[in-house]
Amino acid sequence: MNDKPDQVQSAEKSEEVTDSRFSAIFRSLKNRNYQYFFTGQLISLIGTWMQSVAQAWLVYRLTDSTVLLGFIIFAGQIPVFLLAPIGGAIADKYNRRRILLTTQTISMVLAGVLAFLTLTGVIEVWHIFVLAALLGLVNSFDIPTRQAFIVDIVKRENLMNAIALNSSMFNGARIIGPAVAGLLVATVGEGWCFFINAASYIAVLSGLVLMKLETQNKTPLSGSAISNIVEGFKFVATTAPIRSLLLLLGLVSLMGTPYAVLMPIFAREILGGDAGSLGLLTGAAGVGALAGALSLAARKGLKGIGRWIAFATAGFGASIILFSFSRTFWLSVALLVPAGLAMMIQMAASNTLIQSMVPDNLRGRVMAVYSMMFMGMSPIGAILAGIIAENIGAPYTVALGGIVCIIGAAVFGLNLPAFRHDARQIIVALNMSSGSPVDRAIGDARILSSPSPNKD
């Protein structure tokens, strides 16, 4: 006989459910190596976001040019588009932790140089261009390696959770970094943001050193370097689900995400704010993105996530269209929350699905193509957005990007059934080869949408 009142039992069950959900969201953090990775990246990314906001404000303060804002983004990200395939091939061939130790150290030095030039008052626009391009060169090796490295530190069944937590960490930093940067820029100037970013790399380097990883037996890549790179592109081109996900990701990165490049214009010219306003606008998108990432982290399966991607892409487009027509600061802040949420769901879910369909020996090269679509298309979009904004204004430029995103989401949604069968076969095969239970593999393979009763 249970002597506890019904209300007490109900409260206890509610607490158990809450604890279970909390544990499910953060289950990858039970892994000590992932704890080091997560903590180091979080601290470093706060510094990265501080530098990003401060750099945009510095360029706009020095030049008053929307076009140059776009060109700075272009200089920093076009190397990823051009050189990420080489970085991916290297990530598949050599020790990924050593690659990351090298790239993060160089990034720290570059941030230190930018801080020195700014704090000593000798900074010029061409300095920013050169340092941005050099950082882009480093990122072309760092990003594919970092994406592929996740599988080296967590089990495949926790891959979706780890990727989602990475996204939540990225956007937690996106909330804190811009807010702190806005305060520092308004009080002591941009240089101290760059200095803090340089110092923040110590955390990620320490985490990488402290990890205890199993010895990895890399499969030697046969053929020439060019043929190895081509092999990655061929896999993407001939794998319909991955190809479709990457095309949608590239479209959003080209036409949608460059709205962030124009944010200084919205903050100062349209909404009448300052550097602090820019930090709040950027941070609002980060709040939404953090919520989106945590919602993905709470999921335990992949079923139906393709529809999430389609709806999230359309939601992102609608949100930035509404934002483009807002002339009230706090309404603009509010509209960037769903924009950030939708954008993060689309990008993190795409990352998860792609990594679930990629064999380990091709992971670095395929994630290099992902990096090209995610970051590599952004500089082209930044240039395009800057040029269009000069002619029709920032609001109409952002609205145009939102319309294109909605069209892309519609096309992607209509084509989901066409490649569902291929996705199932790939995931089942990979889970069987890695020793995962077949039943779970088949369940997880229903990733793009539940089949209708009249099909399959």
Tokens found for residue 116: 């020195």
Tokens found for residue 104: 């993060």
pLDDT of residue 262: 86
pLDDT of residue 2: 55
Residues 337-391 pLDDT 10s = 999 999 888 888 888 888 778 887 788 888 888 888 877 787 788 778 888 988 8
**Residues 6+ positions from 88 with CB-CB distance below 8 Å:** 144, 148, 229, 232, 364, 365, 366, 367, 368, 369, 371
Statement: residue 233 has pLDDT above 80: yes
Residues 147-198 pLDDT 10s = 888 878 887 667 777 877 877 777 677 667 877 888 888 888 889 999 999 9
pLDDT of residue 192: 92
DSSP-derived secondary structure letter, 359: -
Closest CA to 289 of 242, 228, 340: 340
Statement: residue 85 has pLDDT above 50: yes
pLDDT of residue 101: 95
What b/e sequence results for 325-357 when a residue is b if at least 16 CB atoms lie within 10 Å of its CB, and e otherwise?
Answer: ebeebeebbebbbbbbbbbbbbbbbbbbbbbbb
pLDDT of residue 166: 79
Grade residue 419 by pLDDT with cuts at 50, 70 and 90. low
Closest CA to 233 of 224, 246, 220, 222: 246
Residue 351, amino acid: N
Residue 98, amino acid: R
Domains and CATH numbers, the chain: 26-209+224-444 (1.20.1250.20)
pLDDT of residue 221: 61
Q: What is the DSSP string of 371-440?
A: HIIIIIHHHHHHHHHHHHHHHH-HHHHHHHHHHHHHHHHHHHHHTHHHHHHHHHHHHHHHHHHTT--HHH
pLDDT of residue 442: 37
| 201 within 8 A of 65, measured Cβ to Cβ | no
Residues 24-49 pLDDT 10s = 777 788 888 888 998 898 899 899 88
